[in-house]
Amino acid sequence: GAGVSQSPRYKVAKRGQDVALRCDPISGHVSLFWYQQALGQGPEFLTYFQNEAQLDKSGLPSDRFFAERPEGSVSTLKIQRTQQEDSAVYLCASSRTSGTYNEQFFGPGTRLTVL
Amino acid sequence: KQEVTQIPAALSVPEGENLVLNCSFTDSAIYNLQWFRQDPGKGLTSLLLIQSSQREQTSGRLNASLDKSSGRSTLYIAASQPGDSATYLCAVCPDRGSTLGRLYFGRGTQLTVWP
């Protein structure tokens, strides 16, 4: 595709609901990153995929957060039993290769509001 | 853990002024440093990327410098325009101890340029 896309762009959830956020990286990009950006803060790393392998999930704030990329392309970030502190913009980024630094291309983000 | 700080947090200037945005980081073991622009409701757009071996990069009216040993970078914007209004984020990529490509961000400088 032309760029990284994310859906939905906006999501409102009641506390306790489960949500699923989707990321479509640039076609052929090997690396995929998820970041969480709270209001007034910089993005914080959540997790990293190299193809379908989740190589780093050290940034996931709790076991309610789960991410997958089963076929090495589209990725889904799932949050179970959402809490108000989960309200943030969730950004996805992809880059061409792994093993060396390549420019990351960011999607527009999904703004999650938990009521 | 790498900490990135940006000063000032917000800046409001008249059109035409030359600006300096500051970024500092605590661990000088970085692979590169990147400046991003973030517009409301949109993702991050990469402006300049400085490799650790470089001292500066230029693109149009933007110039970014890097002093790796002292843990500082500055983004210089010449002849500012209202279209420059956005949040500017500084991010570093460590060269060890974490997933290559994982970025550590500052909180950003919110810039407003008025006509």
State which residues of chain B have pLDDT below 70. none
Whether A114 and A15 have beta carbons less than 8 Å apart is answered as yes
> According to the model, what pLDDT value does residue B1 have?
82
Which of A39, A59, A51, A41 minimizes the C-alpha distance to A75?
Answer: A51
Which of A38, A16, A48 minimizes the C-alpha distance to A109?
Answer: A38
Residue A100 binned pLDDT confidence (cut-offs 50, 70, 90): low
Whether B4 and A43 have beta carbons less than 8 Å apart is answered as no
> According to the model, what pLDDT value does residue B42 have?
82
pLDDT value at A1 more than 60? no
Q: What is the mean pLDDT of residues A56-80?
A: 96
By CB atoms closer than 10 A (0-12, 13-18, 19+), residue B66 is buried
> According to the model, what pLDDT value does residue A111 have?
96
> According to the model, what pLDDT value does residue A104 have?
86
With H, G, I as helix, E, B as strand and everything else as coil, classify residue A77: strand
Nearest CA in chain B to A89: B41
By CB atoms closer than 10 A (0-12, 13-18, 19+), residue B96 is exposed
Asked whether the beta carbons of residue B105 and residue A104 sit closer than 8 angstroms, the reply is no
> According to the model, what pLDDT value does residue A99 have?
61
Asked whether the beta carbons of residue A42 and residue B101 sit closer than 8 angstroms, the reply is no
Residue A30 phi, psi dihedral angles, 5° rounding: -80, -45
Asked whether the beta carbons of residue A99 and residue B100 sit closer than 8 angstroms, the reply is yes
Distances (CA, A) of A88 to A35, B98, B102: 10, 24, 19
pLDDT value at A101 more than 70? no
> According to the model, what pLDDT value does residue A2 have?
79
Residues of chain B contacting residue A43, judged by C-beta atoms under 8 Å apart: 44, 89, 91, 103, 105
> According to the model, what pLDDT value does residue B94 have?
87
Give pLDDT tens digits for A6-57: 999 999 999 999 999 999 999 999 999 999 999 999 999 999 999 999 999 9
Average pLDDT, chain A: 93
Find the Cα–Cα–Cα–Cα dihedral A63, A95, B26, B72, rounded to 10°: -150
